[in-house]
Amino acid sequence: MIPGAAREALEETLGDRVRFRFPLARCTSLRVGGPVDALATPETREEIARTLAICAAHRIPHCVIGAGFNTLALDDRFECVALQLGRLRRLEERPDGCLRVEAGVTHSQLTNFCIERGLAGLEFGCGIPGTVGGWLAMNAGIPGRELKDVVQEIEVISPTGRGVRHIPRAELRFVYRALRGLAPGSVILSALLSVTLSNTGAVRAEVDRLLAARQKTQPLNVPSCGSVFKNPPGDFAGRLVEAAGLKGRRLGGAEISAVHANFIANRGGATAADVLALIREAQAAVWQTAGKRLVPEVRVIGDKP
Ligand SMILES: Cc1cc2nc3c(=O)[nH]c(=O)nc-3n(C[C@H](O)[C@H](O)[C@H](O)COP(=O)(O)OP(=O)(O)OC[C@H]3O[C@@H](n4cnc5c(N)ncnc54)[C@H](O)[C@@H]3O)c2cc1C
């Protein structure tokens, strides 16, 4: 529960950019999740700093949500202030061959920017839905190419909102689908991403090729969070779940996709409990049939009931 003084301070700082008891189902691509105590959508760095400072002063936990494409929000009330940086969407080309990209820039905004200017190097992200903040936190990628390949620096604000640091590439610890080493609760504000000069036709052709390949193999017309599990070394999570006989398995409103067994789709009315139950079932079945441990890629947020 947010104390009255903190609520007033949040309202004073953010005006109508803070909403209380906001359903997280509206912030996640799986369309599941209960209410969070407050959803803050700050518009400037100052508002982010003040929001974090208010949370720290009142000992209220906070979390960051990008566009929610890799997030499973639990069903029960979540005692937290969720910050969403979708209003930080500045994107500039610099003379040194880099783009300065704010955390709320979306994959489609960035892809279109690169196509228009004939900038190559980021085409791999065209079908990875989300924001640059989420891409960085997840080290998003496709086989053979990850965000870490193009990041030159990130700009991060501390969990209490007190200091901003520019962390150079050499100090960033990107691993498979994660960025390690930031203090918990840090908020990524922007990044420098390197690109190379090409031409519009070539960049568009590569984007079209990648999107067409995805259309064939992924269930893109139903709510999901993309790959639920990380691929274990030398294997594919989807192959293992399928081999365990669970492709198409349905529980409540959730379904292990019949198109790609590493996707769980919301077929209508799914709850986080349905999705979690399928995740556990798949883990147990793959452990039994193949002796491999499946580690979730999807990030779970919320208070455990
Ligand atoms: C159809 C589909 C296909 C997908 N294909 C791929 C794929 O090919 N490759 C791939 O890697 N992923 C894929 N994904 C997953 C998803 O697109 C990526 O993980 C993406 O990076 C999520 O971005 P987001 O902004 O939605 O992050 P969210 O889901 O909102 O957040 C993910 C994590 O990032 C953190 N975060 C977000 N913003 C910030 C910030 N500013 N500062 C600090 N932390 C932050 C959150 O706290 C959370 O831990 C797919 C998803 C879908 C639905």
Distant-in-sequence, close-in-space partners of 130: CB < 8 Å, separation ≥ 6? 66, 67, 69, 70, 106, 107, 138, 140
Question: What confidence score (pLDDT) does residue 1 get?
Answer: 83
Q: Is the pLDDT of residue 173 over 90?
A: yes
Q: Exactly one of 177, 204, 249, 299 is catalytic; name it.
A: 177
pTM exceeds 0.95 for this model: yes
For 91-215, the fitting CATH number among 2.60.120.650, 3.30.465.10, 3.10.20.30, 3.40.50.10140 is 3.30.465.10
Q: Exactly one of 186, 224, 227, 257 is catalytic; name it.
A: 227
Q: Is the pLDDT of residue 178 over 90?
A: yes
Q: Ligand 1 pocket, 188 CB below 6 A?
A: yes
Whether the CB-CB separation of 6 and 47 falls below 8 Å is answered with no
Q: Ligand 1 pocket, 125 CB below 6 A?
A: no
Q: What is the pLDDT of residues 106-160, one digit of tens each?
A: 999 999 999 999 999 999 999 999 999 999 999 999 999 999 999 999 999 999 9
Q: Is the pLDDT of residue 189 over 80?
A: yes
> Cα of 68 to ligand 1 centre, how many Å?
7
Q: Is the pLDDT of residue 183 over 90?
A: yes
Tell me which fold the domain 219-301 belongs to.
3.90.78
Q: Which two tokens stand for residue 276?
A: 């979690």
pLDDT tier at 303, thresholds 50, 70, 90: confident
Whether the CB-CB separation of 41 and 86 falls below 8 Å is answered with yes
What distances in angstroms separate CA 105 from CA 57, 99, 112, 116, one per listed residue?
29, 12, 11, 16
Q: Ligand 1 pocket, 131 CB below 6 A?
A: yes
Nearest to 251 by CA among 285, 277, 280, 284: 277
How far apart CA 20 and CA 62 sit, in angstroms, is: 14
CA-based R_g, the chain, Å: 20
Average pLDDT taken over every residue of the chain: 97
Distant-in-sequence, close-in-space partners of 112: CB < 8 Å, separation ≥ 6? none
Query: Which atom of ligand 1 is nearest the CA belonging to 218?
Result: 1
pLDDT tier at 305, thresholds 50, 70, 90: low
Q: Return the domain boundaries, the chain.
A: 4-84, 91-215, 219-301
How far apart CA 60 and CA 285 sit, in angstroms, is: 39
How far apart CA 136 and CA 28 sit, in angstroms, is: 18
User: 4-84 in CATH: which number?
Assistant: 3.30.43.10
Q: Exactly one of 102, 146, 242, 297 is catalytic; name it.
A: 297
Residue 137 burial (CB count, 10 A)? 24
Q: Is the pLDDT of residue 166 over 80?
A: yes
Residue corresponding to tokens 């999901």 = 224
Q: Is the pLDDT of residue 304 over 90?
A: no
Cα 6-23-252 angle, rounded to 5 deg: 145
pLDDT tier at 82, thresholds 50, 70, 90: very high
